[in-house]
């Protein structure tokens, strides 16, 4: 075993020197850990929705080609990081080894099943075999080893939820956490997109703005709009194309009688929806761009161009206690839990 590594993992950076692991082009993914690292036997990867969407488009939805692409990325970078958006995802696995400098300092023992709460885009990964890719759940079952730095955060898999459900929820847990922090009773909260992150945000928004607030869902897919209605997650469901900002804005204004959102969350994984998100938010409101497909130049300069000064929050996936917030959404909403189990625990 090697000596003490740098707290944030810079000792693993190969190039360019001086960067932290997330920004690095390549990291050292050897499995001989330093004394303040943890080695994990990886069971599955959960790429971000944006990263997986990019892979699916590039590979034409062919699972075998996606496998090859993931292998190529990890071989080149020593980690899984979407070359386009630079996002990664999370993983679930079992603790294989804990460096002596970490023993007694972390809530984990060898053999514990955990999920990392830091991005795969900074996590050294030695990928040996991909056993299955589920195009529906976007989960990648594999045989691999990963390294968690001293600064890395993780959580144990809760027994009442299980591995697959927990993994499906955790990779988007940062989004509903921001709803929990920013949505207040009586607010209007708008959520752009009704995928995994969007559904959790809608559920948390309903919980936070009650009893007099309103939750608005803006979603392109007719079938997903129907899911939101059946689950009772929004007061208003608008089937709109977020890539057409004026159409989206006009539909919103007509339905909401001109009342703009106090807090808006964008969870979509397609480009050119930034201005729709900005337009439906009031000047003194807040916008949380969760998705890694967001172009922050378009968002900021677009807002400037329409004289909108709403506060914009970047999509940082971490907030203290964010995973427990997401878990509790599932625990208190039986219908949503059943949807997640049926959809993501195949």
Q: What is the pLDDT of residues 119-172, one digit of tens each?
A: 999 999 999 999 999 998 899 999 999 999 999 999 999 999 988 899 889 989
Q: What is the pLDDT of residues 178-231, one digit of tens each?
A: 999 999 999 999 999 999 999 999 999 999 999 999 999 999 999 999 999 999
Residues in the chain: 346
* Nearest CA-CA partner of 67 in 77, 80, 50: 80
Please name the residue ranges forming H helices in the chain. Answer: 49-58, 63-77, 163-170, 174-182, 196-209, 222-231, 245-256, 274-279, 296-305, 322-332, 334-344
Start-end ranges of CATH 3.40.50.720 in the chain?
174-344
Is the model's pLDDT at 316 over the cut of 80? no
Q: How large is the average pLDDT for residues 87-115?
A: 94
How far, in Å, CA of 114 to CA of 106, rounded? 12
DSSP secondary structure letter of residue 346? -
**CATH number assigned to the domain covering 174-344:** 3.40.50.720
**Average confidence score pLDDT of the chain:** 95
Q: What is the pLDDT of residues 1-42, one digit of tens each?
A: 689 999 999 999 999 999 999 999 999 999 999 999 999 999
Please give the share of the chain, as a percent, with pLDDT higher than 70: 99
- Residue 162, by phi and psi: left (phi above 0), alpha (psi -120 to 50) or beta? left
Classify 38 as helix, strand or coil. Answer: strand
Is the model's pLDDT at 84 over the cut of 90? no
- State the pLDDT at residue 1: 67
Is the model's pLDDT at 295 over the cut of 70? yes
Is the model's pLDDT at 338 over the cut of 80? yes
Q: How large is the average pLDDT for residues 329-338?
A: 97
Best-predicted range by mean pLDDT among 81-85, 197-201, 291-295, 314-318? 197-201
* Nearest CA-CA partner of 3 in 29, 36, 40, 27: 36
């Amino acid at each position: 075993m090697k000596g003490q590594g740098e707290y944030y993992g810079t000792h693993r950076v190969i190039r360019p020197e001086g960067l932290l692991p997330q920004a690095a082009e390549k990291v050292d993914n050897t499995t001989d850990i330093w004394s303040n690292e943890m080695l994990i036997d990886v069971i599955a990867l959960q790429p971000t929705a944006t990263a997986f969407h990019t892979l699916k488009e590039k590979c034409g939805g062919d699972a075998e080609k996606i496998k090859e692409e993931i292998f190529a990325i990890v071989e080149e970078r020593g980690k899984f990081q979407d070359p386009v958006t630079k996002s990664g995802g999370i993983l679930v696995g079992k603790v294989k080894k804990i460096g002596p400098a970490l023993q007694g300092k972390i809530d984990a023992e060898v053999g514990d099943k955990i999920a990392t709460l830091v991005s795969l885009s900074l996590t050294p990964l030695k990928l040996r075999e991909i056993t299955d890719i589920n195009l529906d759940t976007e989960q990648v079952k594999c045989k691999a080893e990963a390294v968690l730095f001293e600064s890395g955060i993780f959580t144990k898999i809760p027994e009442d939820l299980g591995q697959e459900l927990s993994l499906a929820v955790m990779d988007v847990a940062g989004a509903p956490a921001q709803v929990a922090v920013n949505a207040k009773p009586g607010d209007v909260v708008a959520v752009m997109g009704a995928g995994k992150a969007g559904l959790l945000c809608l559920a948390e928004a309903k919980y936070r703005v009650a009893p007099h607030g309103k939750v608005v869902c803006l979603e392109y897919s007719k079938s997903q709009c129907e899911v939101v209605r059946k689950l009772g997650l929004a007061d208003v469901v608008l089937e709109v194309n977020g890539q057409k900002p004026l159409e989206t804005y006009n539909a919103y204004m007509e339905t909401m009688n001109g009342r703009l959102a106090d807090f808006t969350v964008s969870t979509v994984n397609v480009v050119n929806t930034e201005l729709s998100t900005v337009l439906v938010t009031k000047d003194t409101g807040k916008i949380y761009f969760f998705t890694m497909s967001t172009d922050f130049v378009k968002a900021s300069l677009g807002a400037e161009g329409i004289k909108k000064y709403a506060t914009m929050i970047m999509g940082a996936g971490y907030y203290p206690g964010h995973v427990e917030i997401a878990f509790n959404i599932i625990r208190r909403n039986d219908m949503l839990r059943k949807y997640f189990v049926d959809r993501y625990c195949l």
